[in-house]
Structure formats: structure tokens, C-alpha cells
Chain A
Amino acid sequence: MARAAQGIEVEGLVRRFKQVEAVAGIDLSISPGEIYGFLGPNGAGKSTTVHMLTTLLPPTAGRATVAGFDIVKQGPRVRASIGAALQEAALDPFLTGREHLRLGSSLHGIGGVRRKELIERLLDRVGLTQAGDRKVRTYSGGMKRRLDLALALIHDPSILFLDEPTTGLDPQSRSALWEEVARLARDEGVTVFLTTQYLEEADVLADRVGIIDHGRIVAEGTPRRLKAEIGRSTVEVVPETPDELERLRTLLRRFGDETAARPGAFAVQLDGNGALRDVVRALDQENVHAAEINLHQPTLDDVFLAKTGRTLEGAEEE
């Protein structure tokens, strides 16, 4: 399977809607075969970026190439190289899954035996062979998303845009979709541009993550690097009895700076001198009885908080 030698390159991309600057000059460089997670709250500019990169929306300023083709000057060539499953599975409730794939493949100029084989292969891959002749209105949310993915793959694209592909899905459907996306990148070398508001999704799937807020990229890197950048692990201990709290406080202060904890508990942000095993050993040696010990690793939400001053959840509510 021939894959594009080029991924996605973006320089100063801007999109204004009258007075509103939805995307305020972003730069991106995504390598072929990479899964890039584009993380941000609703209204941050994720979908507008996807619409520009998929040629559905002309940018106000800046430039971008997708699979080596300019998104403004070479729209048809970009579209021939990409597949996209945009927000909300855009399906016709009165057509069957198989009819959707037949229409999609025919519009891409695929016909005859090749089309038939392709449809069966894609239905099989997304687990819809049995449901292929059912009308889409009888599908569950997960089935719709899987059909959406099959439609995006129908012309064997080298770059795949997935705009919040798991929103509203149950955990089982979500993890099945993650598995398929990971397989596409790993086994078939497909470049994946994935927008999401789920931290876990970006963390599990993405090779690199870009965090967008108010139309600007506020952080970018591998999930591990981003989390390492903003800080250290936190250990929180709940003593077995409240009168042990003072001794616990004295003990834990040796391992790091005090940080916010639940009532009746004490927490420190571990510095370079301490690890969880040292804390446990000290508790044992000094006979401080712990009812509960929690280790909190930095998350992408902590990264979002560090970069924007808000949690991702809080940003959603704004």
C-alpha cells in the first residue's frame, strides 16, 4: 500500500468569522504515519482547523499542505488523499450501511468487482457485516461511528481526519474504535489527525498532542513530555486515625512540598529525593498507619491547567 511521503504542514493558519477569530494563527508539523491528537475544549478551534485542512473551509490567512498538496490551490488533490469522519456521524438514516459504502465508493470512481470486494472488506473490518443491510436508523451510536470510519477509508486515504470520533460512545465502543485507529497507523502507515476533548483518548492514542485554546496552540509534544514538563507526582495519605495526622505531616514534608489534599488527608508533591516506595518505607519504619495512599501522576488536564489557568472541564463550562 503506497502511503504519502508527506504528512501535514501548517504555517500561521487563521480563520475569522466576522469579528470572531476561531483559529488565530497555528503552526503544525505532522509526520507521515503519526497519530496527532488535537486536544481542546468545545469552541477552541479544533473543528474549524479540521474543516480548513480537509478543504471544506477556506482559511482567512496562512498556508497549509496536506499530503504535500496546498489546501487552497489543490483542493481536489487534497481530498483524494484524505479520509474524514467529521463531528456527528453524517449518515442517511434511510440507507443501509452497504448502500452508504456503495454510494461513497461509486462517487470515488470505484466500481465493479473491486467495489464489491472493498465494501465487504470494510464492513468486515468495522464489524458490520451482519448489519450491512440494515437501515442506519436502526444502528447504535457505536455502529454509526464505525460505519463513518469505513466511509472515511473507502478510497484508501493516506491521511485520516477524525473529529471527536468517540463523543457519546460507550466505553466498549470507544476502545474498539481506538484499537482500529491505532491499527491503521501501526499496520497501514495512515497519518491520523484526531481531535478530541477526552484527555484519556489523546493520552492513549496520540504519538504527539497539540493543545488548542481560544484558537491558539498553547502546548505541543508527546503526552509523556508534556506531563513531565509541568511537574511531579503527588502522594496523598489518609491516616488510619485523625490523631496520627500531625506525625504524618511531619514525615511527608521530608519528601516534598505540601499541596492541596482532601479533608483528613495530607499530600505532598514529590521532589527529586523521594519516590512512593520511600514514602511507604518511612511510614512503616515510623509506625504511622495509613488507611489510604494515593499516587497522582500529572495528567494532560494538569498540562491544560498549567498552560491556560483553567481545567479542561472548567473551560467546557465557560
Chain B
Amino acid sequence: MRTLLRQIGLIAGRSLVRTARRPGTWIPPLLFPLMLMAINSNGLRAATHLPGFPTHSFLAFFVPFSFLQGALFASGIAGTDLARDVDTGFLNRLALTPVRGASLLIGQIGGAVGLGAFQALVYLGIALAAGVHIRAGVGGALLILLLAVLVAAGFGTLGLFLALLTGSGEGVQSTFPLLFFLLLISSMNLPRNLIEVAWFRDLATANPVSYMIEAIRSLVITGWDAQALLLGFGFAVTLIAASLALAARQLRVRMART
């Protein structure tokens, strides 16, 4: 166990360092959700007048989406970095060391998780500075950060699976619009009960991303909502577990050392 943790630390350290040294890969993913937050919280402010809208502040309503969007962007880094390692042979270099597959996968998402945590802190700070009040208090804010990190880890691991499956950065990036589509067909702009178009409401209801957004939203707007939190954390953990299982299986194919 000690060896596993040490190896995870080493791989995660490398992942964080290489992410931090490439501002071009993390500044746009940090800024784009902020821009969307600024535009939507002003442009869609009228939605707060809808009967049944849970808050008077569209910023408070919309800010959880930024956490998810940031996490999704961050996840791309884990996938493309691993794809590059496959392509350059660095994965083979690691395979020749005593590193375990689990250490490799968990450590490899270190950059995405670190960036996810940093983004979440920035978004939370900006939201608080803009007057958003976290109803669940300091404990709720910490839980928001935790969920943001879990979501970044979940999408990050999915990125690893795609990298191992395709072996190319282009392969990972080509799936990004599909993942972004999942964000768009969620309850990002309206609570599900206020979505009038039935098919869209059904898609948003079937979409796990909606529940991750709603878990964060509940902590910001409602306070402590056990059901929302259970669903949000449940889907985030399920995403991590499912992606990890897929990535581990694919790693055995890609790194077929005896």
C-alpha cells in the first residue's frame, strides 16, 4: 500500500508539474467558464422571474455549471497527456519500471484533479466576491470543492480510457464535443421542473450531469439537501469507478507487459 501511494504521488507530481508548465493548456479552460458565467448570469437574469425559479440570483443558479464545465475542460488534459505518453513511448518507459497499473492511472489524473481543484477555488472565490451566498455555509463550500474534484477525477479518468483506447491526442479531443453536449442537455440553464419541452426535460432527467450540477446548486441555493447530494456524489463516484474499470482494462491491452 505504501509503495502504491508513493508511486501515485510520483506520477501525480509529474502530471501536476507538466500541467502547471503549460499555461496554454489551463488558462483557457479556466477563463472560458468564467466568461460564460458572466454572460449568462446577465443575459438570462429574466429567468429568475419565472414562477417556481428557486432563487433571485441567476449567478447563484448558474455558478454550479461553471464547476462542471471547468472539470470537463480539465479532464481533457489527463486524456491528451496520456495519449502523448503512448505516442512518444513514455508509457513504455514507465512500463519498464516497477510502477503498478493502478498507480499509473490514478497518478495520471493528478494534473486534472489539481487543475479542477484550482478552478473550483477560483470560481467559488469569484462567486462569493460577486455576492453569492452559500446557503450550506463553510461546510457546504468545502463539499462543493470536493464534488468539483471528484467530477474532474471522473471525467479525467474517462479521458484516460479514451487515450488508451485511441492512443492519440486527436482521438481524445474528438470526443470532447460529445461530452460538452452532455453539459448542454442538462439542467444547466433551468431547473428541470421548469423545462417545458418534454424531450429536453427527459434528456436532462436521464443525464447524470444534471444531478452533479443540482448537488452543487442545492448547497448554494437550498442548503443541505440529502437526496440531491446523494445523487450528485453517487453519480460522480460511479463515473470514477466505471471510467477506472474501463481504463484499467484498456491499460492491460496498451501496456501488455508480461
Contacts and interface: CB of A to CB of B under 8 A. Distances in A.
Contacts of A57: 256
Contacts of A314: none
A71 interface: yes
A94 B22 contact: yes
Interface in A78-110: 78-80, 82, 84, 86-88, 90-92, 94-95, 99, 103-104, 106-109
B14 A95 contact: yes
A55 B88 contact: no
Given A84-B96, A92-B90, A75 B257 contact: yes
Nearest to B90: A90
Nearest to A52: B258
B97 A107 contact: yes
B52 interface: no
24 contacts: A55-B258, A71-B258, A75-B258, A79-B98, A79-B257, A82-B96, A84-B96, A86-B89, A86-B92, A88-B88, A88-B89, A90-B90, A90-B92, A90-B93, A91-B90, A92-B14, A92-B18, A94-B17, A94-B18, A103-B14, A104-B97, A106-B6, A107-B98, A109-B98
Nearest to B255: A56
A56 B96 contact: yes
A58 interface: yes
Contacts of B256: 56-58
A189 B84 CA distance: 35
Interface in B75-102: 88-90, 92-99
A18 to B, nearest CB: 15
Nearest to A155: B97
Contact of B7 (A78, A91, A107): A107
A58 B7 contact: no
Given A72-B258, A94-B17, 18 more contacts: A55-B257, A56-B92, A58-B258, A75-B258, A76-B98, A79-B96, A80-B98, A82-B96, A87-B89, A90-B92, A91-B90, A94-B21, A103-B14, A106-B6, A107-B97, A107-B98, A108-B98, A109-B3
Contacts of B89: 86-88, 90
Contacts of A211: none
A147 B246 CA distance: 34
Contacts of A79: 96-98, 257
A107 B255 CA distance: 17
B203 interface: no
Contacts of A75: 257-258
Interface of B: 3, 6-7, 10, 14, 17-18, 21-22, 88-90, 92-99, 255-258
Contacts of A86: 89, 92-93
Nearest to B99: A107
A99 B17 contact: yes
Contacts of B17: 94-95, 99
B12 to A, nearest CB: 11
Nearest to A57: B256
A14 interface: no
Most buried by A among B94, B97, B256: B97
A135 B98 CA distance: 25
Interface in A267-299: none
A78 B95 CA distance: 12
A135 B255 CA distance: 27
B92 A107 contact: no
The 6 nearest A-B residue pairs measured at CB:
A90-B89, A75-B258, A107-B97, A94-B18, A55-B258, A90-B93
Contacts of A56: 92, 95-96, 255-257
Nearest to B18: A94
Contacts of A104: 93, 97
A56 B95 CA distance: 7
Contacts of A73: 258
A70 to B, nearest CB: 9
Nearest to B103: A107
A151 interface: yes
Interface string A112-136: 0000000000000000000000010
A239 to B, nearest CB: 55
B138 to A, nearest CB: 36
Contacts of A84: 96
B255 to A, nearest CB: 8
Interface in A147-169: 151
